[in-house]
Amino acid sequence: MDHFLYRDGVLHAEDVPVAEIAATVGTPFYVYSTATLLRHFRLFDEALEGTDHLVCYAMKAASNQAILKTLAEAGAGMDVVSEGEYRRAKAAGVPGDKIVFSGVGKTADEIRYALSGGIRQFNVESEPEMEVINAVALELGTTAPITVRVNPDVDAKTHAKIATGKSENKFGIPIARAREVYAHAASLPGLEVIGIDVHIGSQLTDLDPFRLAYQKVAELTQALREDGHDIRRLDLGGGLGIPYTRSNEAPPLPVEYGQMIREELGHLNCEIEIEPGRLIAGNAGLMVSKVIYVKHGEGRDFLILDGAMNDLIRPAMYEAYHDIVPVTEATPGVEPQPYDIVGPVCESGDTFAKARLMPPLEAGDMVAFRSAGAYGAVMSSEYNSRPLIPEVLVHGDQFAVIRQRPTFDDMINRDTIPEWL
Ligand code: LLP
């Protein structure tokens, strides 16, 4: 459920007509709903009610400071994967003890920065990383709380580019080697081993792969406890999928996910951490774009938009489907027609949809890409020297620009000319 609905034929973001935002900021732009962000965060929080838990938003999904602050004020922790994300989380007011640090390539500098600023735990992905965290902790005269990310060799049944839990993926340590690796960790005086971490992929639309992975984590918890480790926290990663189409997809709900977690892990009396990103931000955001031209091609019509693959790369990168709806609702009874919906970037990959049925549209009409809140703005670039597009946050009947559109000069002046030119 989200808060982007038609009222009197006009698409609204909460109580604000999308066209009013467009008139203020121009197109294309991203717009997020505070109510949807909070609703989704709370669904997870409530799904784990009664269990000692923390929902750490995977901020890679959408990391604008205003989004982070909205979630932080509701009680969210953050899952970060770089010093930049750590700094963003801190700047949004998240205390260090609610920040977990994930990722396969944390550098010594990043580790030092986070450990000095306060950290809930590092989710360690390899033995070399473990050695570096140990060395940094000793240098700072402290100990670093860690979990080890295990790779359970489970097929997440999602797009290959976002599956992370198979043995061929770069993530985690093979679960079969876990006892050995934990023994190594326990021998390092700069580390405090507190738990286990697992994350098997993103956009999972079935609970079974999660269940399989968590069963392996439950077995491992017991084995590690027998080995003398005080396993008291389980970080279960993110990955719960969202419906991208409105009809045929019904991924499990957070409440069902929470129930499954209780079933598989409740008896262990561990503190539970989860790292959802997409489910919190995905359906809380639209990308709004304007039709520049309608071009009649050979056997097909193209809708050429002012938004492009550099603004929303998911269709080009993952063949992802995004629902695209007109900002002014179609008149009932008008026959929809197929369009290839494309951006202005100079490559054929800049195609959002092929033969998509839409009401007849004309130059100047606006469309909204639904489910664009996660992995949208954060993955955008200035390819083709198209300045990054602005982000807007709606709250009831108010809206605010939360990231300005850079001017062309801002973009050009970021480059510097060497003195020999
Ligand atoms: N935790 C870890 C360690 C992760 O690597 C990720 C996502 C998450 C949590 C959050 O997963 P989520 O709840 O959002 O599924 N750019 C891709 C998605 C990449 C996901 C990367 N890791 C896309 O647009 O589909």
How do residues 99-149 score in pLDDT, each as one tens digit? 999 999 999 999 999 999 999 999 999 999 999 999 999 999 999 999 999
Percent of the chain with pLDDT over 90: 93
Question: What average pLDDT does the segment 176-181 reach?
Answer: 96
From the number of C-beta atoms within 10 Å of its C-beta (0-12, 13-18, 19+), residue 362 rates as exposed
Question: Looking at ligand 1, which atom is closest to the CA of residue 281?
Answer: 14
**pLDDT confidence of residue 419:** 98
Among 247, 263, 280, the domain-final residue is: 280
65 with 50, same domain? yes
Q: Which residues neighbour 133 within 8 Å (Cβ) at sequence distance 6 or greater?
A: 106, 111, 115, 122, 124, 144, 146, 190, 191
101 with 156, same domain? yes
Question: What average pLDDT does the segment 223-243 reach?
Answer: 98
387 with 260, same domain? no
List Cα–Cα distances, 166 to 23, 58, 101, 150, in angstroms: 47, 21, 21, 11
Which one is catalytic: 1, 346, 417, 421? 346
**pLDDT confidence of residue 73:** 98
122 with 266, same domain? yes
56 catalytic per annotation? no
Tokens of 157: 């049944």
Residue 348 lies in a domain: yes
Distance 386 CA to ligand 1 centre (A): 26
Distance 198 CA to ligand 1 centre (A): 12
**pLDDT confidence of residue 161:** 83
- 266 falls in which pLDDT band (50, 70, 90)? very high
Q: Is the pLDDT of residue 39 over 80?
A: yes
Pairwise pLDDT comparison (299 vs 130), residue with the higher score: 130
Among 248, 280, 312, the domain-final residue is: 280
Domain count along the chain:
2
**pLDDT confidence of residue 116:** 98
Among 249, 280, 311, the domain-final residue is: 280
Atom 7 of ligand 1: nearest residue by CA position: 202
Positions at the binding site for pyridoxal 5'-phosphate: 239, 275-278, 375
Residue 418 lies in a domain: no
- 47 falls in which pLDDT band (50, 70, 90)? very high
Atom 9 of ligand 1: nearest residue by CA position: 238
**pLDDT confidence of residue 169:** 82
Distance 240 CA to ligand 1 centre (A): 9
CATH number for 206: 3.20.20.10
Q: Residues 317-374: pLDDT tens digits?
A: 999 999 999 999 989 899 999 999 999 999 999 999 999 999 999 999 999 999 999 9
Residue 324 lies in a domain: yes
Q: How far apart are CA 352 and CA 403, in angstroms?
A: 24
Residue 75 lies in a domain: yes
Question: Looking at ligand 1, which atom is closest to the CA of residue 276?
Answer: 13
Residue 27 lies in a domain: yes
Q: What is the pTM of this model?
A: 0.97
276 with 289, same domain? no
213 with 271, same domain? yes
Q: Pick from 278, 283, 319, 381 the residue to mutate for probing ligand 1's pocket: most ligand atoms within 8 Å of its CB.
A: 278
**pLDDT confidence of residue 157:** 84
Question: Looking at ligand 1, which atom is closest to the CA of residue 279?
Answer: 13
Residue 242 lies in a domain: yes
221 with 202, same domain? yes
Residues contacting ligand 1 via CB (< 6 Å): 58, 61, 79, 102, 162, 199, 202-203, 237-239, 275-279, 314, 318, 374-375
- 248 falls in which pLDDT band (50, 70, 90)? low
**pLDDT confidence of residue 156:** 85
Question: What average pLDDT does the segment 179-204 reach?
Answer: 97
Rounded mean pLDDT of the chain?
Answer: 96
- 166 falls in which pLDDT band (50, 70, 90)? confident
Residue 421 lies in a domain: no
234 with 326, same domain? no
**pLDDT confidence of residue 250:** 86
Residue 147 lies in a domain: yes
96 with 114, same domain? yes
Distance 238 CA to ligand 1 centre (A): 7
Positions at the binding site for substrate: 278, 314, 318, 347, 375
Q: Is the pLDDT of residue 249 over 80?
A: no
275 with 288, same domain? no
Q: How far apart are CA 232 and CA 80, in angstroms?
A: 21
| Cα-Cα end-to-end distance for the chain | 55
- 159 falls in which pLDDT band (50, 70, 90)? confident
Q: Pick from 40, 41, 60 the residue to mutate for probing ligand 1's pocket: most ligand atoms within 8 Å of its CB.
A: 60
Q: Which domain holds residue 75?
A: 34-280
Distance 239 CA to ligand 1 centre (A): 6
CATH number for 299: 2.40.37.10
Q: How far apart are CA 105 and CA 129, in angstroms?
A: 8
Distance 78 CA to ligand 1 centre (A): 13
Question: Looking at ligand 1, which atom is closest to the CA of residue 197?
Answer: 3
237 with 295, same domain? no
**pLDDT confidence of residue 357:** 96
Before 390, cis peptide (omega within 30)?
Answer: no
Question: What average pLDDT does the segment 206-216 reach?
Answer: 97
Please spell the DSSP secondary structure of 117-186, one letter per residue: H--SEEEE--HHHHHHHHHHHHHHTS-EEEEEEEE------S-GGGB--STTSSSSEEGGGHHHHHHHHH
210 with 289, same domain? no
CA atoms within 13 A on the CB side of 21: 37
Pairwise pLDDT comparison (388 vs 167), residue with the higher score: 388
Q: Write down the ipTM of this complex.
A: 0.99
Between 8-17, 70-79, 266-275, 293-302, the lowest mean confidence (pLDDT) is in 293-302
- 247 falls in which pLDDT band (50, 70, 90)? low
Regarding beta strands 29-33 and 391-395, do their DSSP bridges make them parallel or antiparallel, or are they unpaired? parallel
